[in-house]
Amino acid sequence: MFIGVAVIAAVGMLFSAKETYLRLLNSVALVLLTLSGGWTIRQTLSQGSYSFGSGILYWDALSALLLCVIIVIAVYVILFSFGYMEEEVREKKLPRTRLKWYYFWIWTFMATMLLVVSTPNMGIIWVGIEGTTLATTLLVGFYRNKPAIEAAWKYVILCVVGISFALLGTMLLFASVAPLLGQTLSALDWRMLPKVASQLDPTFFRLGVLFAVVGYGAKVGFAPMHAWLPDAHSQAPSPVSALLSAVLLNCALYAILRWYSLARLTTLGPDFVGTILMCFGFLSLALMTGFILLQKDIKRLLAYSSVEHMGILAIGFGLGTKEAVWGASLHLLLHGLTKANLFVIVGRLVQKTGTRQISRIRGIFKVLPYTGIIMVLGLLSITGTPPFGTFRSEISILSGLFKTDHPFLGFLSILFLTVIFAGFLYHFLQMLYGKPSGRHQPRESASTLALAIPLLVVLFLGLFIPQSLDQALNQVVKVILGGV
Amino acid sequence: MIGISENGLNLVLIVLLTSGLLVVYSARVKNALSWWTLQTVFVSLLLIAEGYHNNALEVMIFGVLLLIAKAGIIPILLRRVLKESNTEWVGEIYLKRAMSLIFAGGLSLMAYEVTQPLMALHSGYRNGLAVAIALIFYGLLLMMTRKVAIVQVLGILLIDNGIFLAGFFLTQGMPLLVELGAAFDILVGIVIIGILSKQMLENYDSLNVDHMRSLKG
């Protein structure tokens, strides 16, 4: 149903590029999306699972978590888009007629992501993930200048090739499962797969799961397949960067998690995919430390930080203990909120100062005091500083490392996280203080602070986890670990 | 089997492999595109033959749709981009044509080697799978060694054919809905890549991806 809303909204955007029309249509679509999505999440969590249309669409706690992340962030980012894109039109960076294409692709992108988290089928999920790549390609290249086109080209080529390997993996899965469940669509359904998981042909399945993790991993942006990610995130319009970083990466990770929870039940054993995920995780974390320290471009800084956080998530899920997976599920939500907020506020900053170079942004507190306050909050949250929720989620992942006899890896991760904290602090303090250069902007109004809502939620979840959220996260853990 | 005699199937496989090699060896983008189109026609015919043999009308319809979309629409689109950009050269920078043919030969042997463990299958399928993997390798080779955007796209298309064939010989085709989705995705993908290459042309006056090196670090 909300997929229908997104598709209709996407088509509807094409009829007119008038400001009021777009605002109205977007608002109506967002309200409908929130209502139907919220209702689905509620039903799913109270009953454990929920299906629609005789099981074509199906949600469990894990899909509900992703659905929640998508909807919350989409509402925030699209509302922010109104003002941001109007400003871009006013500054003559874009002609007004292109705005309808912008919203068309945004809503197509939403529809494909909603499809990914609503289908219970390993084949359809592939179709959806490939769809997200295609829907975002022209958004990444939206400014149609040289760097934007370079980024879009790199993005589409690397991701399409990466994801085609995931298709090969899905085929190998189908080859191993078809003799057991028949040549039908339901053979790729993950309500059916666990029943025959222990009888799957290990040669086919091992190859298949390797292809799938590497293929989707390219889309998640695990190092060393992350080359497209900073380019795409830095060149896209800032609301799009926020969606890419906070939602799209999570959707690709979600596809891997489905494979992961299936692989835990097969003869490969629970740790096979977990170990691969942890390797990718550590590699991402370790490599990104250097990139973050030496970064000169603020949007690329945030992009590399996304890779780093995807690494942390991979470590948490890969460990496979209850506590670590709980922490990783929470972190998925909190990182999404934090990163969306940071991209939005940095996007606004870049729009006002006219540069992405960290060295040319100075004295934010003097010129834009409220933006400065939000950036401090964002800095503390993205680096996992107490009392923010990200501290809570990161600490449960890290303690999982120590509890499962990986003390060396635990120390290393803490070291990397500390260096990343130092790097972020260095870059942000430089921008916040100092003498503002270039054109002075009129002081902003306190209403800017409304943009900080996601960060305040993260702060709140660091101080207090409501029982309903805790229960929901425990359900997610159960889905991933298979009733452990 | 799939309604084709063993000899017939081997003949089709030879055509598929040779056309793959010719895509790698072509000196002009236009020729490479024609060879790829020929290959796609045979892939679709294979599917239609299977549908006919099993009396499965929906498989035959899908085969015809594939023929129209992949052997019809995609080549027309790419040809148009080529014409506008006046691109003829395939952009062989790192590996000349003869050398890349030798490489491709080596990759075909490797394809037979890596499919070894999967081979509890019928011999015709076994060869088919090896050819499919070989095509995927050729696609990757093209993408790594060629510098013209459209040739890189041909690499993707070769990989796509290879993966499609792999699915065909491994499982006699994935569920139809997934196949349809995958085919639709590749079609939309080529349209979007076409739009992107036009924008590339407007900005850089050529389709040489080597010009795009501004984003680093």
Render pLDDT for A119-155 as a digit per residue (tens, 0 to 9): 999 999 999 999 999 999 999 999 999 999 999 999 9
In this complex, do A153 and B117 lie within 8 Å of one another by their Cβ atoms?
A: no
Q: Which residue has the higher pLDDT, A399 or B205?
A: A399
Mean pLDDT of chain A: 93
Look at residue B3 and tell me whether its pLDDT is greater than 90. Answer: no
Considering the entire predicted model, what is its pTM? Answer: 0.94
CB contact under 8 A, A183 and B175: yes
Closest Cα in chain A to B211: A150
Q: Is residue B139 part of a domain?
A: yes
Instruction: Find which of A122, A134, A200 to mutate to test the B interface (most B CBs within 10 Å of its CB).
Output: A134
Is-contact A126 A256, C-beta < 8 A?
Answer: no
The phi and psi torsions of A253 (rounded to 5 degrees) equal: -65, -35
Is B110 within 8 Å of B50 (Cβ atoms)?
Answer: no
Q: Which two tokens stand for residue A481?
A: 């670990």
What is the pLDDT, as a whole number, of residue B176? 86
Residue A220, domain member (yes or no): no
What are the residues of chain B with a beta carbon less than 8 Å away from any beta carbon of chain A?
117-118, 136, 140, 143, 149, 152, 156, 159-160, 163, 166-167, 170-178, 181-182, 184-185, 188-189, 192-193, 195-196, 199-200, 202-204, 209, 212-215, 217
- Closest alpha carbon within chain A to B140: A161
| Amino acid occupying residue A252 | A
What would the two tokens of residue A247 be? Answer: 């939602």
Please state the rounded mean pLDDT for residues A60-77: 96
Quick check: A335 and A69 in contact, CB under 8 A?
A: no
Annotate A131-159 with DSSP letters as a single string: HHHHHHHHHHTTT-SHHHHHHHHHHHHHH
- Asked if residue B139 lies in contact with residue B124, where contact means CB atoms within 8 angstroms, the answer is no
The alpha carbon of residue A401 is apart from the nearest alpha carbon of chain B, in Å, by 31
Residue A101 forms contact with B (CB below 8 Å): no
According to the model, what pLDDT value does residue B106 have?
Answer: 93
**Can you read off the two tokens belonging to residue B137?**
């390798």
User: What pLDDT shows up at residue A69?
Assistant: 96
| Contact call for residues B111 and B93 (beta carbons, < 8 A) | no
User: Which of B184, B192, B203 is nearest residue A137 as measured by Cβ atoms?
Assistant: B192
pLDDT band at residue B124 using 50, 70 and 90 as cut-offs: low
Nearest CA in chain B to A234: B215
Q: Which two tokens stand for residue A420?
A: 């990343």
Q: How many domains does chain A have?
A: 1
Residue A199, pLDDT > 80, answer yes
Domain of residue B175: give its range: 6-211
Rounded to whole angstroms, the Cα distance separating A73 from A143 reads 23
Asked whether residue A326 is domain-assigned, the answer is yes
Chain A nearest CA to B178, separation (Å): 6
State the pLDDT at residue B204: 87
H or E element that contains A59: strand A57-60
Q: Residue A411 to residues A20, A140, A385, A401: CA-CA distances in angstroms?
A: 54, 37, 17, 9
In a domain, residue B217? The reply is no
Contact A276, A382 (CB under 8 A): no
Domain coverage including residue A307: 270-484
CB contact under 8 Å between A168 and B136, yes or no, is yes
pLDDT given for residue B87 in this prediction: 78
Q: Has residue A288 been placed in a domain?
A: yes
Residue B1 lies in a domain: no
Q: Which positions in chain B touch A193 (Cβ < 8 Å)?
A: none
Q: How confident is the model at residue A357 (pLDDT cuts 50, 70, 90)?
A: very high
Total domains, chain B: 1
Q: Is the pLDDT of residue A10 over 80?
A: yes
Burial of B25 (0-12, 13-18, 19+ CB in 10 A): middle
> Percentage helix, strand, coil, to 5, in chain A?
80, 0, 20
Of B134, B101, B76, nearest to B26 by C-alpha is B101
A453 at B interface, C-beta within 8 A: no
Residue B216 is assigned to a structural domain of this protein: no
CA B10 to CA A411: how far, in whole Å? 58
Q: pLDDT tens digit string along A210-219? A: 999 999 999 9
What pLDDT does B165 receive? 92
**Would you say residue B122 has pLDDT above 70?**
no
- CB of A192 within 8 Å of a chain B CB? The answer is no
Least trusted range by pLDDT, from A68-72, A234-238, A439-443, B199-203: A439-443
Report residue A1's pLDDT band, with 50, 70 and 90 as the boundaries: confident
* A419: in domain: yes
* Facing residue for B163 by CB, picked from A167, A178, A294: A167
Nearest to A81, CA basis, from A27, A134, A133:
A27
CB contact under 8 A, A149 and B203: yes
Residues ≥6 apart with Cβ < 8 Å to A281: A222, A310, A311, A312, A313, A314, A315, A316, A318
DSSP codes, A181-243:
H-SSGGGGBTTTHHHHGGGS-HHHHHHHHHHHHHHHHHHHT-TTS-THHHHHHHHS-HHHHHH
Residues 287-316 (A) with a CB less than 8 A from some CB of B: 291, 294-297, 300
Percent of chain A scoring above 90 in pLDDT: 81
pLDDT score of A98 more than 80: yes
Residues of A in contact with B156 (CB under 8 A): 157, 160-161, 164
- Banded model confidence at residue A315, pLDDT cuts 50, 70, 90: very high
- Contact check, Cβ <8 Å, A160/B189: yes
* Predicted confidence (pLDDT) per residue in A19-55, tens digit: 899 999 999 999 999 999 999 999 999 998 999 888 8
Residue A4 forms part of a structural domain:
no
In chain B, what residues touch A134 (CB-CB under 8 Å)?
185, 188-189, 192
Q: Chain B within 8 Å of A141 (Cβ-Cβ)?
A: yes
Residue A335 lies in a domain: yes
pLDDT for A414 beyond 70 = yes
B186 vs chain A: nearest CA distance in angstroms?
A: 9
Contact B149 A188 (CB under 8 A): no
pLDDT tens across A276-313, in order?
Answer: 999 999 999 999 999 999 999 999 999 999 999 999 99
On chain A, the residues whose CB falls within 8 A of the CB of B173 are: 183
Report if residue A465 sits inside a domain.
yes
Closest CA to A85 of A109, A107, A108, A101: A101
Q: How far is Cα A344 from Cα A240, in angstroms, rounded to an integer?
A: 9
ipTM of this complex: 0.93
